[in-house]
């Protein structure tokens, strides 16, 4: 597995990964209306800014993006892992990479998390 800085061409894959992750996990704890709101609540401009600012990381297995995590301001953002590789430590590794990058680039000692229930 390779963890690397996301590139502009990764944005569509990250959006699809997000949709798949939320579609698979959120219905077990949210109503259909709430799931729809979560799926619709993506700030694509923020995602693209994170990629441009090198604040988003993706994990690849055999050239396929299977996870992502990043940071914006002092917040952990966009942590998603493909359903077929969950529970293998990939999310932990991605979060560690994002935390390390935030600390190195900003000297921040704290990263905040705003999360949905199923995370």
Residue range 52-109, pLDDT digits in tens: 999 999 999 999 999 999 999 999 999 999 988 888 889 999 999 999 999 999 988 8
Residue 21 and residue 81 in contact, taking contact as beta carbons nearer than 8 Å: yes
Strands laid side by side in the 112-113 sheet = 2-5, 56-61, 64-72, 75-81, 112-113
Q: Residues 21, 26, 28, 33: is their CA dihedral positive or negative?
A: negative
Q: Which residues contact 87 (CB under 8 A, 6 or more apart)?
A: none
Percentage, residues of the chain above pLDDT 90: 63
Q: What is the pLDDT of residue 39?
A: 86
* DSSP class of 100: H
What pTM was estimated for this model as a whole? Answer: 0.89
What is the mean predicted confidence (pLDDT) over 48-52? 97
Parallel, antiparallel or unpaired: strands 112-113 and 64-72 = unpaired
């Amino acid at each position: 597995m390779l963890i690397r800085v996301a590139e502009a061409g990764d944005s569509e894959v990250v959006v699809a990964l997000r949709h798949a992750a939320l579609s698979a996990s959120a219905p077990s704890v949210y109503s259909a209306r709430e799931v729809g709101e979560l799926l619709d609540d993506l700030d694509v401009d923020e995602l693209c800014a994170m990629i441009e600012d090198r604040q988003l990381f993706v994990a690849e297995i055999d050239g396929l993006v299977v996870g992502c995590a990043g940071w914006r301001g002092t917040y952990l953002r966009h942590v998603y892992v493909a359903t077929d590789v969950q529970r293998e430590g990939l999310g932990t590794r991605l979060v560690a990479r994002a935390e390390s990058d935030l600390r190195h680039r900003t000297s921040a000692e704290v990263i905040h998390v705003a999360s949905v229930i199923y995370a």
